[in-house]
Amino acid sequence: MRAGGGKQKGAAFERDICVSLSHWVSHGRREDLFWRSAMSGGRATVAGRRGVNLASQAGDISAVHKSGHALTGDHYFELKHVKDIALDAFIVKGTGPLATYWNTACREASRYVKDPILIVRQNRLPTLWISRTRVVDALHANQQPKQGRYLALVYAPGSKPCEIWLLDKVLNSSFEFGKPMKGSD
């Protein structure tokens, strides 16, 4: 890979996800509700060291329009596009890169009193949405998405419980924000 290619791939992935989430939340009417957070959430981290809470800048995605706050107000987004996530090791043993990403997202989200959502893509595989149990149901007004349930419900040792969904299944169902279900694992 050429120098800087990984960062460019990650930045392009984040931009694409921002547009997809914007379409989802706006029911296809807008593509500009979300954008990449300053320094991929680093601005919030640096401010936190000074005792300043910039929760709206935490994580990889921020709402840049008031309609986006329905999603980012209670949810912390971490995005990863990597060569190998070791999904099998995560599901069975709670180890590997995906376990690290998920546990980091959970830890960071708790700093801002938000629910973690990890959107991750391994090369040549579909994009996955990983969240605590019942979060997707809450984002669909507690109704099950039409395309079915999650791919896996993970209770692996060493990881916080979570549901793994195909991102397309989540985004192909109507966004109807219900009551947030924080800590519903």
> CA-based angle 172:174:177, to the nearest 5?
135
At 38, the pLDDT band (50, 70, 90 cuts) reads low
Q: What is the mean pLDDT of residues 76-92?
A: 94
Mean local confidence (pLDDT), 33-42: 70
Confidence of residue 107 (pLDDT cuts 50, 70, 90): very high
Predicted confidence (pLDDT) at residue 144 exceeds the cutoff of 80? no
What's the pLDDT band for 139 if we cut at 50, 70, 90? confident
Give the mean model confidence (pLDDT) for residues 64-80.
92
The residue ranking higher by pLDDT, 176 or 122, is: 122
CB-based contacts of 124-127 (< 8 A; 24+ apart in sequence): 126/166, 126/167, 126/168, 127/17, 127/166, 127/167, 127/168
